[in-house]
Amino acid sequence: MRRIVVVGIAAGALAAAGCTGGGDSGAGPATTLSTAAEQTAPVPTDTTLPTDTTLPTDTTLPTDTGTTGTTGTTGDAAGEDAAAVFGDFVLAAGSGKALVLWDLLTMAARERLGPSFDSFRIGVARELEEGLGAFAGVPYEVLVATEVGDGLAVVAIAGVRESEGLSELSGYAVVLRDEGGGWRVELGAPVMLAPALPGSGAVAAGELPEITVGVEAQVAIDEALLWLDGTPLAATLDAPGDGTAGTLSGRPAEPLAAGAHVAVAIARAGDLANATAWVVTAR
């Protein structure tokens, strides 16, 4: 039997939830970029995966690694640097190094998740160790690693873990901010992302299903991007009224193969941004 697990942090703990490298020198998984697509969405009630749970094998970066447009990009040089920093963050979570995690957070994230180190250490740091830290012991793929403007980058990872004899596909996405001369991890920003899962917990294989996520912020939403298995989707944000709440949706360009897929979304509202990753199963 296989099951889907989305590894993440409780939304309440992150107050709306997902720099320089850390000092963790422990061995960990490679963070090689892949063009294949927080953790606020519930896991589907029917969590039985189809037979094929492998991630897409196309790992060639797009030739145009410049700007992010309405469909976003998958990887660029700045994103690769951000992914390396996030790799340090994953290792620190896996080894329970709360001080390294703290050092890799933005100043705003420290205020939201602390505000003191002691509060962070006994609270969110433990949640990170139990959730995100699960990736530290397995090979994972970096599905998205790209700059999204205004000194922000989004990084998303996915990996299949073995737990109690079961294979578990998990995804995690995070925003990083260029602060103090390097990338730092931005967590807990008050931009809500709520993936809309079908009632059956699965979409139809061989079709072009709509991938949808609700977005809500305190100010008007400026940008929202969507990927599936690392491929940017031509997504549309419908945010009527004052633009602080809406729905981001898009469809894959090709019929979706049977199996487990990873969707990633990011939304930016003013100077605040948040990202999420979730599993989409096609049967």
Q: For tokens 């996915």, what's the residue? A: 158
Q: What is the DSSP string of 1-40?
A: -EEE------TTTTT----PPPS--S------B-S-----
pTM confidence score: 0.77
* pLDDT, tens digit, 9 for 90 and up, residues 187-225: 999 999 999 988 888 999 999 999 999 999 999 999 999
CA distance 166 to 109: 34
* pLDDT, tens digit, 9 for 90 and up, residues 132-191: 998 998 899 999 999 998 899 999 999 987 656 677 888 999 999 999 999 999 999 999
Number of domains in the chain: 1
- Domain with 203 in it: 2-282
pLDDT of residue 252 exceeding 80, the answer is yes
- Produce one character per residue of 54-93: b if its CB has 16 or more CB atoms within 10 Å, e if not: ebbeeeebeeebeebeeebbbbbebbbbbbbbbbbbbbbb
* pLDDT, tens digit, 9 for 90 and up, residues 45-79: 333 333 333 343 333 333 333 323 345 678 899 99
- Mean pLDDT value across residues 84-89: 98
Task: Dig out the tokens for 145 from the structure.
Answer: 């690693």
Phi, psi of 122 (to 5 degrees): -90, 0
